[in-house]
Amino acid sequence: MNPAVPTRWRSVLPHLDAPLPPDRTQQAAGSDGAGRSVQVNLPLELVRQSTQPREYWDVPAEVLEAYRRYRPTPLWRARGFEKAVGARVPIWVKYEGGNISGSHKLNTALAQAYYYHRAGVRELVTGTGAGQWGTALAAACALFGMECTVFMVGTSLQRKPYRGVLMRMLGARVHASPSSLTEVARSGQDSGNSLSLAIGEAVEYAARTEGAAFCIGSGETYSILHQSVIGLEAADQLAAQGATAGAVVGCVGAGSNFGGIALPFHAAATAAGTTPPLLVAAESSSTPKLSRGVYAYDRTDATGTSPLEAMYTIGSAYTIPDSHSAGLRYHGAAKVISAMRHAGQVEAVAVDQVDALAAGKAFTAAEMTLPAPESGHALAAAARLAAGGDGVPPTRDGVLVCVSGHGYLDLGAYEQFLNGELSDQAPDPQTLLAAVGGLERVGELAVRR
């Protein structure tokens, strides 16, 4: 029998070595490019969830009712995948692709839509990369009777037009980014097809639209809190089978999927006074913020007006190479994940696009489940950990990996992989150095004083 859906979210904030570094307001900030002030107004409960070191937060009844339509999500031992990759320890898979959005993103979209609706907001506006977050928010807005506007990375929307169709089926308005609707796109502050630009467009659009609010799904501390349902369920499901995990793996765009699967294990171990499992963040080699970036104050979007957050980053101005893992094409990591990486509590591994899709292909054939390319990065990292070998840290017990979404709208990427048409574009070291050259490292100001 499956364990019950968690009725409380669990925060990792009480179990950090130190409080998160506070955000900073940029001296030149305050304009959306047209002379208007840009502020992101959060419902008070989301502010509390991001700042208070309180361990447990009740899931509102309306959100819990929605969760029960698709949760608990499945967890199984991937014996076929183990055999395919030569695993020496069990690989346990937690699968989040079985809801309308096709990914874990719905867990926080439902919570956020609930809180914004209670605050009187009529329309939520967002940016999305691969489209899972945009779809999730469109679904949540439909459930709570709200309007929804989505700016989706243009190259991703072109490759996956049915993501746009699904969002429109749910009542959302969908715009390819860069669009002609915002000053930030017209000004060329971010000339690439990036998630940072899509988010910047959404921030600007929401700021000038009455009754609207900007809403984001991945890197915020409250988003990671809502995603804790993944790890909480997984812990109960493993215990029900008498199993343990020596390593927990998730892919990282900004961090909500990885945080959702991994951080509840860290909180539980710390609370019990035991050693946490190895927490491994799998990122794209084309956007290697945790493995090759710097811990510095950087902006979260392309407007140039957002507060500076302490994050591992490759620079918000860095032009990220095109790839099929659009959900991972974000320049920075969430401040919670970044702080834990800085404290040595999180490990990071960069995975090539080709290796990720190869892992996805092997998983599809072995487990009869098609993962998203983003999830393929986590599967590739999990396979390395389970098989061991040169340069791979040893892991005790089994490996738990989150397959964050399905890949049915990503078959174009797999087709290119099968045809041998894909390559990887890892950042040039000098280009990376230039992109972060002007950023203030965390702790740098205190050292100068």
Domain count, the chain: 2
H helix count then E strand count, the chain: 19, 14
Q: Give residue 217's pLDDT.
A: 83
- Bridge partners (DSSP) of residue 24 are 308
Domain end, chosen from 217, 237, 266, is at 217
Indicate the DSSP class of residue 72.
S
Q: Give residue 32's pLDDT.
A: 43
Q: Do 248 and 299 belong together in one domain?
A: yes
Q: Do 291 and 213 belong together in one domain?
A: no
Q: How far is the C-alpha of 301 from the C-alpha of 127, rounded, in Å? A: 10
427 domain-assigned: yes
Q: Report strand pairing: 212-214 vs 245-251.
A: unpaired
Q: How far is the C-alpha of 435 from the C-alpha of 421, rounded, in Å? A: 29
Range of the domain at 190: 106-217
Q: Give residue 448's pLDDT.
A: 36
Q: Report strand pairing: 398-403 vs 173-177.
A: unpaired
352 domain-assigned: yes
Q: Do 355 and 253 belong together in one domain?
A: yes
Q: Do 233 and 93 belong together in one domain?
A: yes
343 touches 16 (CB < 8 A):
yes
331 domain-assigned: yes
Q: Do 296 and 411 belong together in one domain?
A: yes
Q: Give residue 34's pLDDT.
A: 40
Tell me the HSE value of 231 on the side-chain side, using a 13 A CA sphere.
30
Q: How far is the C-alpha of 310 from the C-alpha of 339, rounded, in Å? A: 8
Q: Give residue 393's pLDDT.
A: 61
26 domain-assigned: no
Q: Do 254 and 168 belong together in one domain?
A: no
1 domain-assigned: no
Domain end, chosen from 217, 239, 258, is at 217
Q: How far is the C-alpha of 414 from the C-alpha of 410, rounded, in Å? A: 7
Q: How far is the C-alpha of 403 from the C-alpha of 369, rounded, in Å? A: 10
Each residue's pLDDT, cut to its tens digit, for the chain (449 residues) gives 457 999 999 999 999 999 999 998 754 434 444 433 344 579 999 999 999 999 999 999 999 999 999 999 999 999 999 999 999 999 999 999 999 999 999 999 999 999 999 999 999 999 998 899 999 999 999 999 999 999 999 988 998 899 999 999 999 999 999 999 999 888 865 555 677 889 889 999 999 999 999 999 888 999 999 999 999 999 999 999 999 999 999 999 999 999 999 999 999 999 999 999 999 999 999 999 999 999 999 988 766 667 899 999 999 888 887 766 667 878 999 999 999 999 999 999 999 999 999 999 999 999 999 999 999 999 999 999 999 866 666 677 899 999 999 999 999 999 999 999 988 778 889 999 999 999 999 986 543 33
246 domain-assigned: yes
**Across 272-394, where does the E strand assignment appear?**
278-284, 294-298, 309-313, 347-351
Classify each residue of 388-420 as buried b or exposed e, where b means 16 or more C-beta atoms within 10 Å of its C-beta: eeeeeeebeebbbbbbbbbbebbeebbeebeee
What tokens were used for 4? 């019950």
Q: Do 292 and 392 belong together in one domain?
A: yes
Domain end, chosen from 217, 240, 267, is at 217
pTM (two decimals): 0.93
Q: Do 158 and 181 belong together in one domain?
A: yes
Q: How far is the C-alpha of 125 from the C-alpha of 371, rounded, in Å? A: 27
Q: Do 268 and 125 belong together in one domain?
A: no
Q: Do 317 and 185 belong together in one domain?
A: no
449 domain-assigned: no
Q: Do 333 and 237 belong together in one domain?
A: yes
CATH number, position 157: 3.40.50.1100
54 domain-assigned: no
Q: Do 331 and 408 belong together in one domain?
A: yes
